[in-house]
Structure 1
Amino acid sequence: MMDVAVHGRAQISSWYVLLFEGDYTPQEDDTAANIVARATEITAYVAGTRQALTVDAAVAGATDNADNLAEVTLNANKTVHGFAIVSAAAKGATTGVLLAIQKLATGRAYANGDVIKVPVSLALTNPA
């Protein structure tokens, strides 16, 4: 964000939800290039690409997708351990930017045909 605001770098206008099935704990050196393999991205779902993240206007440094949850319809039994927000739409893509990653407290099992609705909240905070 600093590069966009201060250095004139191009803004990334589209973000996508990546679900993962590995029991993976996010690391500081995670990137879009390595997260697919490290966390084991789930690609067994009906849509041909990752689901777009559509968020509401930011208020007080925070935004979410409560009005437009990302929905993924599985076409295989899977256990979801977390999700990430990335800038590349293609399933399995290792290009682009990793914005955020979140591991769930416990994995959640889903069956073939289940629809997973993914709530996302993003906030800028001042670390104390």
Structure 2
Amino acid sequence: MNSVLGTGFRYQCRAKLPTGEVIEWEDNNLLPQDSVDHIARLILATTSPIGSWYVGIFEGNYTPTADTSAGDLAGAVGECTAYSAANRPAWAGTYDNVSDINNTVSRAVFTMTSDKRVYGAFIVSSSVKGGGSGVLLSIARFTVPRDLPAGTEFAVTAGIALVPTT
């Protein structure tokens, strides 16, 4: 059976270092079981839609599994909280009326306050920076960890393509 969700979310990242150098890369994600369960419940109309989603980044040398949940973010995943915003930035997704849902119009931006090696990013339903509650919609470990010095402006665009199946 083919998946209407394709390969899940893809993360397009752009780091503007304090030196002015810009580094860009793209990685795909894992849809954890919490995400699959939430989507199934939406289709079956047994749960309410979540009105807001938020992007976070992690500094733990962690490899996500299907069992990874929002409860793991502060501990095992090692959410990075070394950025200037008081809360996780919003994932303000829009739909192109064809197949893509993404936050290209309003990227999630992190201004780093200390030097960090970042291993990945995620989308969760809680805005609480360093929090461990909510629905974990997506989590991606970057192919290569990225060193982000203090002062780096790190922007994350995350999106999913809904793929028609035959």
Identity %: 32
Matched, 1:93 2:131: yes
5+ residue gaps, structure 1: none
Compute the displacement of 1:124 (Å): 3.8
In the aligned structure 2, how far is the partner of 1:73 from the partner of 1:121? 21
Alignment-mate amino acid for residue 92 of structure 2 = T
Q: How does 1:57-76 map to 2 (within 5 A)?
A: 57-76=95-114
**What is the CA RMSD across the aligned residues, in angstroms?**
1.9
Picking from 113, 122, 140, the partner of 1:102 is 140
Does the aligned pair in 1 maintain the 2:58–2:79 contact within 8 Å?
yes
5+ residue gaps, structure 2: 1-38
Structure of greater relative contact order (alpha carbons < 8 Å, 6+ residues apart): 2
Aligned partner of residue 79 in structure 2, secondary structure:
coil
Aligned partner of residue 36 in structure 1, secondary structure:
helix
Aligned partner of residue 34 in structure 1, secondary structure:
helix
In the aligned structure 2, how far is the partner of 1:30 from the partner of 1:61? 27
Alignment-mate amino acid for residue 35 of structure 1 = L
Alignment-mate amino acid for residue 74 of structure 1 = M
CA-to-partner distance for each residue in 1:30-51, whole Å, 9 max, x for gaps? 0111133122100011100000
Match of 2:57 in 1: 19
Picking from 55, 70, 78, the partner of 1:32 is 70
More strand, by proportion = 2
Distance 1:58 1:97, change over 3 A: farther
Does the aligned pair in 1 maintain the 2:70–2:133 contact within 8 Å?
yes
TM-score when scaled to structure 2?
0.71
TM-score when scaled to structure 1?
0.90
